Amino acid sequence: GRRCSSLQHKSALSACVTDQNQVKSHESWSLSPEEFEAWDRLYRIKESDGIKEPVLPRVQFETLENLEETPFALQRPEEGKVLELSLSEWSLWQNQPLPTSLVEHSDRCHLFIRAMQMMELMKHQQGDCSYEQELQPHLHMEDVNVPGHKRHLSTSNPP
Amino acid sequence: MEERGGRAGGFRKDTVDRLLRLHFRDGKTRVNADAQLLMAELLKVFVREAAARAARQAQAEDLEKVDTEQLEKVLPQLLLDF
């Protein structure tokens, strides 16, 4: 039988499920004919719905060669037909913990929220950076590796 | 708790196994039945959490319907929690 090589994209899933249903009765991992009918009727996004299909943004490392394994790129859907979910559009909402249901916020989530709070505070700062002023008295030059020329940092370092 | 076909009121074990295998790099990698059930439960929790948080966001905005916008608002913190 035919196989789906990737489930990265919804249409891959639907194509796979459709194949499964048309070719023979479903396998235990896939939707049963009744489930398929319900999915097709209630949840499946069709062209006539006029809704763009939501997709998640893909990982890209600006400073690294991109990993060759990007099956997503191969089946990149047509522009304009999808809605790429944004992780930054609502950044103003992110400087406070949003309500949870069963799963509490993780440590890194709290770190993220605190970083967003800090950015919110610093957004309107002009001139000297308060964070720099707060930390500079604690700088010990022996803790840092200054490559090349010496930077002009006024430190409390002993000579 | 386990219903027909190893279905823990959500994802079927076989479905979870299939989904995981699609992404394993080594074709010899296997998942035992307990881990499949646990993973099915985890996926269910993830889906419910996303739905519940987006619903609360809609509530906070006095909306009766959850749209993509409400999901987008809760998404960064949701993904950091999982």
Contact call for residues A23 and A3 (beta carbons, < 8 A): no
Task: Find chain B residues with C-beta within 8 A of A4's C-beta.
Answer: 22
Assess whether pLDDT exceeds 60 at residue A23: no
Instruction: Give me the pLDDT at residue A27, please.
Output: 76
Distance (Å) from the alpha carbon of B31 to chain A's nearest alpha carbon:
15
Beta bridge partners of A83: A54
* pLDDT more than 70, % of chain A: 67
Instruction: Report the C-alpha gap between A102 and A104 in whole angstroms.
Output: 7
Assess whether pLDDT exceeds 50 at residue B6: no
- Asked if the Cβ–Cβ distance from A4 to B72 is below 8 Å, we say no
Residue of B27, B21, B22 lying closest to A7 (CA atoms): B22
A94 interface with B at CB cutoff 8 Å = yes
What SS3 string covers chain A? CCCCCCCCCHHHHHHHHHHHHHHCCCCCCCCCHHHHHHHHHHCCCCHHHCCCEEECCCCCCCCCCCCCCCHHHHCCCCCCCEEECCCCCCHHHCCCCCCCCCCCCCHHHHHHHHHHHHHHHHCCCCCCCHHHHHHHHHCCHHHCCCCCCCCCCCCCCCC
The interface predicted TM-score (ipTM) is 0.85
Averaged over B72-80, what is the pLDDT?
Answer: 98
- Asked if the Cβ–Cβ distance from A85 to B72 is below 8 Å, we say yes
- Asked if the Cβ–Cβ distance from B80 to A4 is below 8 Å, we say no
Assess whether pLDDT exceeds 80 at residue A115: yes
Question: Which two tokens mark A78?
Answer: 């047509």
Contact call for residues B68 and B57 (beta carbons, < 8 A): no
Q: What integer best gives the mean pLDDT of chain B? A: 91
Residue of A52, A70, A51 lying closest to A61 (CA atoms): A70
Task: Find chain A residues with C-beta within 8 A of B73's C-beta.
Answer: 90, 93, 98
Task: Find chain A residues with C-beta within 8 A of B82's C-beta.
Answer: 103
A29-57: pLDDT as tens digits = 999 999 999 999 999 998 888 888 899 99
Task: Look up the pTM and report it.
Answer: 0.76
Which of B61, B80, B82 to mutate: most A Cβ within 10 Å? B80
Distance (Å) from the alpha carbon of B22 to chain A's nearest alpha carbon:
6
B13-52: pLDDT as tens digits = 999 999 999 999 999 999 999 999 999 999 999 999 999 9
CB nearest A101 (choices: B49, B68, B73): B49
Instruction: Give me the pLDDT at residue B78, please.
Output: 98
A1 interface with B at CB cutoff 8 Å = no
